[in-house]
Structure 1
Amino acid sequence: MDVPLSWQLAKLLVSIGIVLGLSVIAERVSTRVAGLLAGYPLGTAIALFFIGLEISPPFAAESAVFSLAGFTATMALGGGYLICGRRDGLAGVLAGTAGGLVAWWLASLALTRFAFDRVSGTLVTLAAIFVFTWLYRHLPETRAKVRTGGPPWPALALRAGLATAIVFLITGLAHVLPPAWAGMLAAFPISMYPLLVILHLTHGAAPAATVIKHYPAGLGALLCYTLCVSLTYATLGLLWGTLAGFAVATLWLLAWMRLQTWQGARRAAGT
């Protein structure tokens, strides 16, 4: 079907706003918080919403079931980027991107061979979260150095261009792909990958590695969101299904932050 220009403009504006917001948080607050927020339902929410809008809500709901398992491939992308992108500068970004995309492709290829349902897809990603969190446990924490005067215009243009290109590519391919691959593409790190590139280019490989380290911990909210919309898109519609998904994801994120605060207080009391 022909996609109205207004929908295309909406995708453009929303994608730009999300990536710029994450980049500001990483530079002004901390890369740890940015990594957690990168797991919040931002890029996937955009992709699934516009897939539902442009194709149909039931198609988006079916794709969301495969997205639940597809987040495992997203973590594989982070791992591939981490292994290959150890150098600073453009060479490190290109090597990390190549390694990450290969890891994502191989993981996605393996996952699409299985007929996942909501339970099995969620369990696969939960297992991957524990595995990657354990593998990253010794990675050092590195904050991005705060810049005065805001990011330069070339960085802003790169952030906007990457986010827009990824969103348009995913929603465009969804028109010609089955729900399994549409779901895998919707799970692609639309918001995290541009953040990695910008941090890597402007601050080096270490802050980008910190975002990758904390990304699995933030996936709980994304899992909650995707599970919710897989159940509600076909029954409640896109608007109410999306709002319900964000409500569930926010409750999970608040509970997770409260748990982290409690654990931090216990560790402090024990020292």
Structure 2
Amino acid sequence: MNILLFKLTLMPSVMALITLAIRRWGNKIGGLIGSMPWIAGPILLFFILEQGKEFGIRSIQGVMTGILALIAFCFSYSAFSRRWSWLPALLLAYGAYTVTALIFYYLRLDLYLSYALVIGTILVALWVFPKPSTEPFRVRRLPFDIPIRMVITTLFVLVITGLAHVLGPNWSGILTPFPIQTSILAIFSHSLQGSNAAITALRGLVMGLLGFTTFLFLQAFLLPEFSVAVSFGLAFIVNILINLIASRIW
């Protein structure tokens, strides 16, 4: 199949399914499901198909930095959403994301230390994450919210994979977990259902980053030994198991 056609069919389908999962099982489980590597996995796959397996493996170190920045985004947006509407909360959270990404990019931590730091940061974030109030969620939907989410997600994937050869593996990896899907989740939850819904969804997403991070970390060791299908399949099983355990603990 043509890679461009693959992008144009896979990515909107993934975004639509995540949105339907949130509607079916609620914001917490929806956030947990949304944290699975539905976007980062295909982006890594496209890196490998277009730039080669070595490029994909080298991008994983940058992905760890991107995940730290993503945690900063989720925590910041949740905190700011209590006081402000979605736009100022989003801009401030993007600021937190950018500062975090730049700091850890220049620190140049190795893969093992980065992975340990990400896991530790996730656990701390879950401990201190803003708590939603007891106020019930509003239930409101835009008539075309699913197509809007599908288009935005697809455009992001096209841009980041299209610029990979210019950005190089490190910055391509850093931008792989860029909170485009997370932003969509936060904005729609916040604007349609209120701050509580956004906080609940983003906390579920941070919880799911335990498995998401491990999925990507394992690729650094699986891809050199196995095919892409086997590497992704084995790591995806591990991701699911971690998410199931995390959902029971938290």
**Residue 45 (structure 2) aligns with:** 49
Report deviation, 1:219: 0.9
Instruction: Confirm or deny: 8 A CA contact 1:31 1:143 kept in the other structure.
Output: no
Contact preservation (8 Å) 1:229, 1:244: no
Structure 1 residue 203 and structure 2 residue 196: aligned?
no
Bigger mean CA offset, 201-210 vs 46-55: 201-210
Match of 1:38 in 2: 34
- The letter of the residue matching 2:31 is G
Q: What's the CA shift for 1:120?
A: 0.6
Secondary structure of 2:166's aligned partner: coil
Q: Which residue of 1 aligns with 2:73?
A: 77
The alignment's C-alpha RMSD in Å is: 2.4
What is the Cα deviation at residue 227 of structure 1?
1.1
Letter in 1 for 2:4: Q
1:99 matches 2:92: yes
Q: CA deviation at 1:186?
A: 1.0
2:125 corresponding residue in structure 1: 132
Partner of 1:18: 14
- Residue of structure 1 equivalent to 2:116: 123
Q: Distance in 2 between matches of 1:172 and 1:85?
A: 33
1:163 and 1:144 mapped to 2: Cα distance? 25
Give, in whole Å, the separation in 2 of the partners of 1:238 and 1:17. 21
Counterpart of 2:225 in 1: which secondary structure?
A: helix
Residue type at the aligned position of 1:139: P
Q: CA deviation at 1:115?
A: 2.5
Aligned position for 1:187: 177
> Is the CA contact (8 Å cut-off) linking 1:77 and 1:103 kept in structure 2?
yes
Q: Which runs of 5+ in 2 are unaligned?
A: none
Matched letter for residue 37 of structure 1? I
Structure number with larger C-alpha Rg: 1
Deviations for 1:196-249, whole angstroms, at most 9, x for unmatched residues? 222223222321121122222111110121011121223323222222221221
Counterpart residue type for residue 10 of structure 1: F
Assess if the C-alpha contact under 8 Å between 2:58 and 2:169 holds in 1: yes
* Partner secondary structure for residue 74 of structure 2: helix
Instruction: Tell me, yes or no, if the aligned pair for 1:83 and 1:99 is still in contact at 8 Å.
Output: no
How far off its partner does 1:160 sit? 1.1
Structure 2 equivalent of residue 158 of structure 1: 148
CA distance in 1, matches of 2:151, 2:83: 23
How far did residue 153 of structure 1 move? 4.2
2:167 counterpart SS class: coil
Q: Distance in 1 between matches of 2:136 and 2:111?
A: 36
- Once residues 138 and 59 of structure 1 are traced to their aligned partners in structure 2, the CA distance between those partners, rounded to angstroms, is 40
Q: Give the TM-score of the pair, scaled to structure 2.
A: 0.89
Count of residues in Structure 1 that have an aligned counterpart in Structure 2: 250
Counterpart pick for 1:65 among 58, 61, 68: 61
Cα distance in 2 for partners of 1:205, 1:162 equals 22
Q: Secondary structure at the match of 1:234?
A: coil
- Percentage of matched positions with identical amino acids: 23
2:75, 2:182 → 1: CA distance? 13
Whether the 8 Å contact between 2:59 and 2:172 is mirrored in structure 1 is yes
1:172 to 1:78, Cα distance in 2 relative to 1, 3 A: same
Q: Is contact 2:74-2:206 (8 Å) kept?
A: no
The CA deviation at 1:144 is 5.0
